[in-house]
Amino acid sequence: MKRGALAICASLLLVGLVPGSTLAILNPTSNLDQWNDPAGLGHGASGAVNWAQTFTAGEYGLLSGVDLYLELGGGGSLTASIEATASGLPTGPALASASSTVAASAGWVHFSFTTPLSVVQDSVYAIVINPTAAGVWFGSTNTYPGGQAFEVGAPWTALADPADFGFRTYVDTVGTQLSWDKSEVTAGASTPLTLTATMTYANGVEATHYGAFLELVPTWFTPTGITCSDTASKIVPADCTLVNFGNGFGSLIPAATTGDVLTFTVTGTGHPTLSDLGSTGLTRANACTDYPSLGSCSDATANVQVVSAAASPAATKAATPPPTSTGFGPSSDESGRTTWFLPIGLIALFGGLLVLVMRRRRQIS
């Protein structure tokens, strides 16, 4: 088996490893995981024979279907199965299987697994088919680094041309993001709050409906309104209620065949008491993709810290400005000294006049 450096992570680091990998990055709701486009090379058989193509899962999720590039003599039904591998070879038994009609002319054929298979990122699986009539599986040479084309079983023989069959795998995933517009609220006060939940569904035709569940909000938060939107317009406006969000919407939101992004905005008021001081205001929501026989969910949490009111700064007494004056003049101390000298001066003046008068009288007498 050809082994490539496929340390593929959940953030879709497929660039440069698999042709056309930017598709999954540009469209977050795409569930296309691994693929190899045929290049005109076909491998045929004249009767019943086992063929297999191994692949490396690039996501944790539910493998809901595969496409194979086939033709079948006269057309007819064909079954495709998913098997585990050991040392790069299919091992059986079938982990999931589906049947579909294959035309007499070459083209993509989709096989839907009614019960999607949970796959593990970086694990190797095999797509196995066993045509009952002459058919051709088209492929290319060494263009998919995460797997290999094989023929017949026990033992399996690796093919050289095409070394990779034409195939596509679809892995459904769901993700939830939850955030408050404030990180803190004050105990003993009322604070307007907005909670935003963004739920991304990457799925195909196998999904039946979506679930969106606001599971937990702080006891001190009172929601008063909600708005809903989704990229595929699957939410009926009349169904956008706080009650439905609190109940998970049931089966009210049909799944879009090409995935969807749902956004819920809840407005309300936080009114924590002093006894809530120091609590984190835990909030939790989950998004689910549902199928006829099972569901797959993703949880997210968010927190709002309850804090005490900020201490008010101590009131400071305004400093008394120094006295001001206009023009020139004595200070207050100088005015006091002038007041004391005034009567003394008057006494001295009258005393001097009295002496002068007495002297003049003596001269006359």
The pLDDT value given to residue 7: 30
Peptide bond into 93 cis (omega under 30): yes
Residue 29: count of CB within 10 angstroms of its CB: 17
What is the per-residue pLDDT across 210-234, written as a single tens digit (0 to 9) for each?
Answer: 999 999 999 999 999 999 999 999 9
- Kindly tell me if the per-residue pLDDT of 356 is higher than 80: no
What is the per-residue pLDDT across 75-93, written as a single tens digit (0 to 9) for each?
Answer: 999 999 999 999 999 998 9
Please compute the mean of the pLDDT values over residues 280-298 and round it to a whole number: 95
Assigned architecture for domain 22-172: Sandwich (2.60)
Distance CA 97, CA 85 (A): 16
The pLDDT value given to residue 74: 86
In percent, the amount of the chain with pLDDT more than 90 equals 68
In the chain, which segments carry CATH 2.60.120? 22-172
- Kindly tell me if the per-residue pLDDT of 4 is higher than 70: no
CATH 3.60.150.10 holds for 181-307: no
The pLDDT value given to residue 47: 65
pTM of the model: 0.77
Choice between 111 and 20, residue whose per-residue pLDDT is larger: 111
Average pLDDT, the chain: 83
Could you tell me the pLDDT band of residue 332, with boundaries at 50, 70 and 90? very low
The pLDDT value given to residue 70: 94
Please compute the mean of the pLDDT values over residues 288-315 and round it to a whole number: 85
Burial 183-205, CB ≥16 within 10 A → b, else e: eebbbeeebebebbbbbbbbbbe
In the chain, which segments carry CATH 2.60.40.1510? 181-307
